[in-house]
Each structure stands twice: as structure tokens, then as C-alpha cells.
């Protein structure tokens, strides 16, 4: 079975928007880029998540921050480490280095670099 290729990035930005307004704008961008509401966790053309928002913990209106599965997602942790080496999980205060060290071996080797 041929697995789909993904491009995973982490972006750090500043916004005057609150978390809910930001989420609504991100969902609009996803739709413009071709995202359709399909099967949960199914491969999508575009998936934009809010991983952290100003270091706060938030759980309202369908939005949970920090992202509840970020601690076991190598495709989030590695790029996050690249741009924010001193980042700490807002809820647990665990450093990004420790979160990376806690990844299992299979997770560590599953990222591949694809070239055109």
C-alpha cells in the first residue's frame, strides 16, 4: 500500500484575534484550499490546527488548546522544536526537548524527507 505524502509545518505568528475568531479564519482557509468535511482523521488536502495560543489552556466552543494530541505527534514536535527550542507545554510545563525524548523509537524513524 502506498502511503500518501504530507507536508507538515509549524508556523509561529502573532495575531490580535482571539482563539475562536482565529479558528474560524483558519477553517475558511482550509475550505478555500479544498478541504471537505470527510471522515474524521482521514487524509485531507489541508488541515490547520492551533497547537498553542499565547501559552494559554482553552477548552470552549469546540476548540481545545493546547492541541490534545501534540505530545505524541512527531510531525508537530520536530518542526515546533526547529522554530521554538525553549517551548514548554502550557498545561504540563514539559519542555519540547523532553517531549521529543519521550517519543518512541518507531515515531522517531517514521519521518521521511521527500524530494521532487
Instruction: Give residue 41's region: left, alpha or beta (phi > 0; psi -120 to 50).
Output: left
| Contact (CB, 8 A) for 24 and 40 | no
For the chain, first and last CA: distance in Å?
Answer: 20
CA pair distance 19, 64, nearest whole angstrom:
10
Question: What pLDDT sits at residue 62?
Answer: 84
In the CATH scheme, what architecture does the domain 19-109 have?
2-Layer Sandwich (3.30)
Identify the DSSP state of 4. P
Per-residue pLDDT at 115 exceeds 70: no
Mean pLDDT across the stretch 78-98? 94
Q: Is the pLDDT of residue 116 over 80?
A: no
How far is the C-alpha of 68 from the C-alpha of 65, rounded, in Å? 7
* pLDDT over threshold 90, residue 81: yes
DSSP 2-41: PPPP----------SS-HHHHHHHHHHHHHHTT----STT
Distances (CA, A) of 105 to 90, 101, 102: 25, 10, 9
pLDDT score at 2: 66
Model confidence band, residue 52 (pLDDT cutoffs 50, 70, 90): very high
Distance CA 99, CA 73 (A): 10
What pLDDT, in 10s, does the model give residues 20-49? Answer: 999 999 989 988 988 777 666 666 677 888
pLDDT of residue 57: 93
Amino acid at each position: 500500500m502506498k502511503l500518501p505524502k504530507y507536508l507538515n509545518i509549524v508556523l509561529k505568528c502573532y495575531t490580535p484575534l482571539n482563539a475562536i475568531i482565529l479558528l474560524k479564519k483558519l477553517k475558511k482557509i482550509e475550505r478555500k484550499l479544498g478541504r471537505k468535511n470527510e471522515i474524521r482523521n482521514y487524509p485531507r488536502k489541508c488541515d490547520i490546527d492551533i497547537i498553542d495560543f499565547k501559552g494559554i489552556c482553552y477548552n470552549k466552543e469546540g476548540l481545545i488548546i493546547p492541541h490534545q494530541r501534540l505530545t505524541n505527534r512527531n510531525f508537530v514536535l520536530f518542526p515546533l522544536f526547529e522554530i521554538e527550542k525553549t517551548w514548554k507545554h502550557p498545561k504540563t510545563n514539559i519542555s519540547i526537548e523532553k517531549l521529543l525524548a519521550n517519543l518512541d523509537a518507531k515515531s522517531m524513524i517514521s519521518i521521511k524527507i521527500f524530494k521532487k
